[in-house]
């Protein structure tokens, strides 16, 4: 009986995932040109975050985690993962960002504040903390991360109006 309830809940979450408003923040294919979504978008709500980042989920939960949208993008052999962590309020997103970036120099290129390196872009805006991760250090991956970060930031800025 308990297994049946779990299976039904899992199926409902999978079916509902594509309709979640957070997915509207993820850029479509062609952002930037040549890049496409790879695989299905994934949604983690509440305690389900532990299935995605078992060792790091507690940080997000301490600051009011609501949900996470994950989408991979590819351009040939180049891959970037986009993750949008939605917290219950902007203070939670700012607190997560501050803990993740302690000791790093922040910039204002994306969101309220961001940090950049060869493999990752992290920023926060409103109730969201965004991570874009490349799996190799190349000009194509950096350009992909930059374009995806700009598109997500614009969607977040438009979403708050």
Sign of torsion over alpha carbons 97, 100, 101, 103: positive
Residue 32: inside a domain: yes
Residue 11: inside a domain: no
pLDDT digits (tens, 9 = 90+) for 31-83: 999 999 999 999 999 999 999 997 899 999 999 999 999 999 999 999 999 99
The β-bridge relationship of strands 36-45 and 65-75 is antiparallel
Residue 3: inside a domain: no
Residue 122: inside a domain: yes
* Number of domains forming the structure of the chain: 1
Residue 18: per-residue pLDDT: 56
Predicted model pTM: 0.87
How far is Cα 109 from Cα 74, in angstroms, rounded to an integer? 23
The mean per-residue pLDDT over the stretch 116-143 comes to 96
Looking at residue 154, which CATH number applies to its domain?
A: 3.40.1000
Residue 129: inside a domain: yes
Residue 57: inside a domain: yes
Residue 12: inside a domain: no
Bigger pLDDT: 25 or 16? 25
Q: For residue 11, is pLDDT > 80? A: no
Residue 90: inside a domain: yes
With bands split at pLDDT 50, 70 and 90, how would you rate the model's confidence at 160? low
The encoded tokens of residue 13 equal: 């979450």
- Domain span at residue 75 reads 21-159
pLDDT digits (tens, 9 = 90+) for 88-100: 999 999 999 999 9
């Amino acid at each position: 009986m308990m297994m049946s309830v779990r299976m039904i809940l899992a199926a409902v979450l999978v079916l509902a995932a594509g309709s979640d408003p957070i997915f509207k923040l993820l850029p479509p294919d062609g952002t930037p040109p040549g890049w496409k979504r790879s695989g299905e978008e994934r949604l983690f709500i509440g305690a389900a975050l532990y299935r995605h980042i078992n060792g790091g989920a507690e940080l997000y939960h301490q600051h009011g985690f609501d949900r996470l949208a994950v989408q991979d993008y590819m351009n040939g052999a180049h891959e970037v993962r986009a993750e949008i962590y939605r917290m219950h309020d902007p203070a939670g997103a700012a607190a997560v960002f501050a803990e993740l970036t302690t000791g790093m120099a922040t910039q204002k290129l994306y969101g309220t504040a961001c940090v950049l390196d060869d493999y990752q872009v992290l920023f926060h805006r409103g109730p969201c903390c965004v991570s874009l991760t490349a799996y190799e250090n190349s000009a194509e991956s950096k350009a992909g991360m930059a374009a995806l970060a700009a598109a997500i930031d614009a969607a977040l800025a438009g979403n708050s109006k």
